[in-house]
Amino acid sequence: MMDGMARVSDTTGKDARAMRRGRGTAYWQAAPFALLFLVFFIVPLVLTVAVSFWRFDDYVLSPDLNLDAYREVFEGCIDKLPSLCVTFATYLSTLRFALMAWAATLVLGFGIAYFLAFHVRSVPVQMALFLLCTVPFWTSNIIRMVAWVPLLGRNGLVNQGLQAVGLTTGPLDWLLYSQFSVVLAFVHLYTLFMMVPIFNSMARIDRSLIEAARDAGASGWQTLWNVVIPLCKPGIVIGSIFVLTIVMGDFVTVGIMGGQQIASIGKVIQVQMSYLQFPIAAANAVVLLGIVLLMIWALTRLVDIRREL
Amino acid sequence: MTETPFRSARPGRRDLLRATAGLALAGAATKLAAPAVHAQEPVTLRYLGTAVNQSAEIAAKAKQDLGITIEYIPVTTDDVIRRAVTQPNTFDLLDMEYFSVKRVLPSGNLQGIEARRIKLFDKITPVFTRGVTAGGKTLGEQGTAPKKVQFITGRGSKDLAPSPTEWMTLIPTTYNADTLGIRPDLIGRPIDSWAELLNPQFKGKASILNIPSIGIMDAAMVMEATGAYKYPDKGNMTRAEIDRTMAMLTEAKRAGQFRAFWSEFNESVNLMASGETVIQSMWSPAVTKVRSQGVQCIYQPLKEGYRAWATGFGMPRTLDGRKLDAAYEFINWFLSGWAGAFLNRQGYYSAVLETAQANMEPYEWAYWMEGKPAAQDIKAPDGSLLEKAGTVRDGGSYEDRMGRVACWNAVMDENTYLIRKWNEFIAS
């Protein structure tokens, strides 16, 4: 921006007009998406926030500002301490899943991206392997989820395999409908979202930097820690934002893989919605949004994405 | 069965005269308007409901018989209600559960269905109008029994009428009696009580529905079966009763009694067929589906009785003109037998039994409705084999099953409280 201003002042009026016209074109080019964003994102969001403060009785939403919905959301949260109220317990559980999924996808995503970026030389092979990583998305969510039962179920392949080789004597129940299976499904689905931005960052690392590190006597691990990882930070942060925000709002995966026995904030909102308790659901959504925005803010504090990009 | 209270008590001679005059007028109007009507485009009815009731076969047959195009909008039970309350102009015909009436009616989005325009009104099973079976057995009334929400006081009324009137909320489509499904091969002993659902013997192998209003009813059946508490009305608990019931469920959940909760038809089939669960609340066609995969499964009748449900057609407030006429025409056709037979062959029950019987083979009727051993192989409407010859329907005849209904799916007055407690239960 500053550069632009400086240049405008040096150049002739004709150029400045062209510049302004160019900027007008840019606005037009951005307009369709901005409009889409406004109508399908900003407006619903504003409505959600508004509804969370409304009164709702006998099927009539009345714009009568009050905090009842928030009071209902945090019912008993203060007086019950130190034992957790439903809302706190649910957020804690959702946060725990988010952190577990984040850690697992980060390690896996980084590893795969590293392999693809530094060990696979030919672009066609890279592309082929990339496509392979999208395999989990080739079927619908529901089919994918149902398919876990014959694999991890009590009489599933894994249990039969373990018993056949004599590692276990009876079926392991914790393979399915447990925290383990929820995290497994998250990792299976979302590693790609972590991997792609990291790969993107790695692909842009100047290879001569790595050679320079080696020439300067750095070991493999030292190069990784002091050269590759710092340069991958933007990718890691972007991937983390993807994974954390998706997992925080998820209720389908937690529901199906947790056997509907594990609470998630998304599920709470869904149940409230389906019973027409719109203000409470909206209040919950606003709280969730606030927490997710805080997480993103904290992440962007770690790395200035705009500068790095 | 011969006379419903509505017919015997309500319309006198004057009503009849009025109705006749109205009919004559309508007839004259139709005659006059006929050429214009024929020139118009065929009617399309947007039919909002759950996928379970929306068969392509019924739509095709309606198109063939009436020329009316049925456009299905399949959504979940909860979304049916949400849409009926928030967007009544996005559909022309509503197929929803009777318990939803209490939630949709206050929104003012339902219009009363005129009983006199329903040709077979007299033949609708008294389960809906009087709460008894055709054979005279009285059904349980706990919960939202259909007769409690069947009539309203006027076309645009939001008030339920305690006794039959000329205005109906819903015209019944299907109904049934639900119980527990079990895997006899994995249990190996007789099961005869709801209490078995929480028997520690089935630790980690039981399941219930993750639909709060229905799940708590199953829990209440268990509570009563164990003798721990007897509810004045399982379908409308007080806060203390909700607390007590949820405490029992929470304790069972913490002890690891449940393998999973299910919320969708196919999930229940998968849980049972894969052996993840051996005892769970279930729907009749789901049991049939498990059996059709070659897995033993019984829809176990229990001594405490069944939890029943019913669905029916409702009309949105905004429906009028030709679409309104078409909706009446479609409903009348629906009750006239073909659709009823189609539903009965899936294990549901139809609203008008006589016309359905006329459209079924005698052996089919004997198997599905009379509880007799199948004289020959029982086929699904699509022709696939459901049961081999000689099989007897679980629970027996219509009278045996519907006559032992203990309670109905319901919406409680303390619904908001229940939802909070249910979320607490899931988080525990």
Alpha carbon B228 to chain centroid, angstroms: 30
Half-sphere exposure (Cβ direction) of B53: Cα atoms closer than 13 Å? 30
With CB atoms and an 8 Å threshold, state whether A90 touches B76: no
A308 vs B331: which has the higher pLDDT: B331
* Whether B414 and B324 share a structural domain: no
The answer to whether B124 and B352 are in contact (CB under 8 A) is yes
Per-residue pLDDT of chain B (428 residues; tens, 9 = 90+): 333 444 344 444 445 445 545 544 444 444 444 444 444 678 999 999 987 778 899 999 999 999 999 999 998 877 888 899 888 899 999 999 999 998 899 888 999 999 999 999 999 999 998 889 888 889 988 999 999 999 999 888 889 998 889 999 999 999 999 999 999 999 999 999 999 999 999 999 999 998 888 999 999 999 999 999 999 999 999 999 999 999 999 999 999 999 999 988 888 999 999 999 999 999 888 898 898 888 999 999 999 999 999 999 999 999 999 999 999 999 999 999 999 999 999 889 999 999 999 999 999 999 999 999 999 999 887 788 888 899 999 999 999 999 999 999 998 989 889 988 998 898 88
For chain A, what is the domain count? 1
- In this complex, is the C-beta atom of A259 within 8 Å of any C-beta atom belonging to chain B? yes
* Whether B260 and B119 share a structural domain: no
* Whether B68 and B90 share a structural domain: yes
Specify the residue for token string 């027996």: B396
Residue A149: Cβ within 10 Å count: 21
List all residues 6 or more positions away from A180 whose beta carbon is below 8 Å from its beta carbon: A174
For residue A63, what pLDDT is reported?
77
The answer to whether A262 and A182 are in contact (CB under 8 A) is yes
| Domain annotation covers residue A296 | yes
Residue B403: Cβ within 10 Å count: 22
With CB atoms and an 8 Å threshold, state whether A176 touches B85: no
The answer to whether B307 and B409 are in contact (CB under 8 A) is yes
Q: What is the Cα–Cα distance from B94 to B166, expressed in whole angstroms?
A: 19
Q: What is the Cα–Cα distance from B331 to B349, expressed in whole angstroms?
A: 16
Which residues constitute the domain of residue A245? 79-308
| Domain annotation covers residue B259 | yes
In DSSP notation, B133-200 reads -TTSPBPP-EET-HHHHSEESSTT--SB-SS--SEES-EEEEEEEEEEEE-HHHH-S----GGGGG-G
Q: What is the Cα–Cα distance from B183 to B186, expressed in whole angstroms?
A: 6
If pLDDT is split at 50, 70 and 90, which confidence band does A56 have? confident
A172 vs A77: which has the higher pLDDT: A172
Residue A42: Cβ within 10 Å count: 11
Q: What is the Cα–Cα distance from B414 to A71, expressed in whole angstroms?
A: 18
With CB atoms and an 8 Å threshold, state whether A155 touches B274: yes
- In this complex, is the C-beta atom of B263 within 8 Å of any C-beta atom belonging to chain A? yes
Respond yes or no on whether the N-terminal peptide bond of residue A44 is cis (omega within 30° of 0): no
Collect all residues of chain A within an 8 Å Cβ-Cβ radius of residue B274: 149-150, 153-156
- Helix, strand and coil content of chain B, in percent to the nearest 5, comes to 45, 20, 35
- In this complex, is the C-beta atom of A76 within 8 Å of any C-beta atom belonging to chain B? no
Residue B178: Cβ within 10 Å count: 20
Token pair of A153, please?
Answer: 């179920």
| Domain annotation covers residue B341 | no
| Domain annotation covers residue B280 | yes
| Domain annotation covers residue B106 | yes
Write out pLDDT tens, residues A73-84.
Answer: 887 777 777 778
With CB atoms and an 8 Å threshold, state whether B274 touches A150: yes
* Whether B275 and B411 share a structural domain: yes
The answer to whether B359 and B338 are in contact (CB under 8 A) is yes
Interface test with A, best of B85, B86, B205, B274 (most A CBs within 10 A): B274
| Domain annotation covers residue B396 | no
Specify the residue for token string 């790969």: A199
Half-sphere exposure (Cβ direction) of B381: Cα atoms closer than 13 Å? 19
| Domain annotation covers residue B378 | no
The answer to whether B343 and B380 are in contact (CB under 8 A) is no
Collect all residues of chain A within an 8 Å Cβ-Cβ radius of residue B258: 259, 261
Q: What is the Cα–Cα distance from A94 to A105, expressed in whole angstroms?
A: 16
List all residues 6 or more positions away from B233 whose beta carbon is below 8 Å from its beta carbon: B142, B143
If pLDDT is split at 50, 70 and 90, which confidence band does A1 have? very low
Token pair of A207, please?
Answer: 């290879």
- In this complex, is the C-beta atom of B212 within 8 Å of any C-beta atom belonging to chain A? yes
With CB atoms and an 8 Å threshold, state whether A271 touches B423: yes
Complex ipTM, two decimals? Answer: 0.76
* Whether B51 and B151 share a structural domain: yes
| Domain annotation covers residue A55 | no
| Domain annotation covers residue A27 | no
With CB atoms and an 8 Å threshold, state whether B82 touches A263: no
3-state secondary structure of B374: coil
Quick one: closest CA in B to A91, which residue? Answer: B427
* Whether B243 and B262 share a structural domain: yes
DSSP class of B41: P
Task: Provide the whole-model pTM.
Answer: 0.79
For chain B, what is the domain count? 2
| Domain annotation covers residue A208 | yes
| Domain annotation covers residue B12 | no
A285 vs A19: which has the higher pLDDT: A285
Collect all residues of chain B within an 8 Å Cβ-Cβ radius of residue A157: none
Collect all residues of chain A within an 8 Å Cβ-Cβ radius of residue B270: 146, 149
Collect all residues of chain A within an 8 Å Cβ-Cβ radius of residue B50: none
For residue A130, what pLDDT is reported?
86
With CB atoms and an 8 Å threshold, state whether A261 touches B258: yes
In this structure, what CATH number is given to the domain that contains residue B206?
3.40.190.10
Pairing of strands B298-300, B151-152: unpaired
- In this complex, is the C-beta atom of B424 within 8 Å of any C-beta atom belonging to chain A? yes
* Whether B249 and B135 share a structural domain: no
Which residues constitute the domain of residue B205? 183-305+404-427
* Whether B138 and B268 share a structural domain: no
For residue A55, what pLDDT is reported?
80
Query: Rounded mean pLDDT of A140-165?
Result: 84
For residue B243, what pLDDT is reported?
96
List all residues 6 or more positions away from B215 whose beta carbon is below 8 Å from its beta carbon: B208, B209, B249, B261, B281, B422
Instruction: Tell me the pLDDT of chain A averaged across its residues.
Output: 85
In this structure, what CATH number is given to the domain that contains residue A201?
1.10.3720.10
| Domain annotation covers residue A1 | no
| Domain annotation covers residue B7 | no
A273 vs B170: which has the higher pLDDT: B170
For residue A62, what pLDDT is reported?
74
| Domain annotation covers residue A256 | yes
With CB atoms and an 8 Å threshold, state whether A274 touches B76: yes
With CB atoms and an 8 Å threshold, state whether B420 touches A86: yes
Quick one: closest CA in B to A177, which residue? Answer: B260
For residue A69, what pLDDT is reported?
85
With CB atoms and an 8 Å threshold, state whether B260 touches A260: yes
Interface test with A, best of B419, B421, B425 (most A CBs within 10 A): B419
3-state secondary structure chain A: CHHHHHHHHHCCHHHHHHHHHHHHHHHHHHHHHHHHHHHHHHHHHHHHHHHHCCEEECCEEECCCCCHHHHHHCCCCCCCCCCCCHHHHHHHHHHHHHHHHHHHHHHHHHHHHHHHHHHCCCHHHHHHHHHHHCHHHCCCHHHHHHHHHHHHCCCCHHHHHHHHCCCCCCCCHHHCCCHHHHHHHHHHHHHHHHHHHHHHHHHCCCHHHHHHHHHCCCCHHHHHHHHHHHHHHHHHHHHHHHHHHHHHHCCHHHHHHCCCCCCCHHHHHHHHHHCCCHHHHHHHHHHHHHHHHHHHHHHHHHCCHHHHC
DSSP class of B419: H
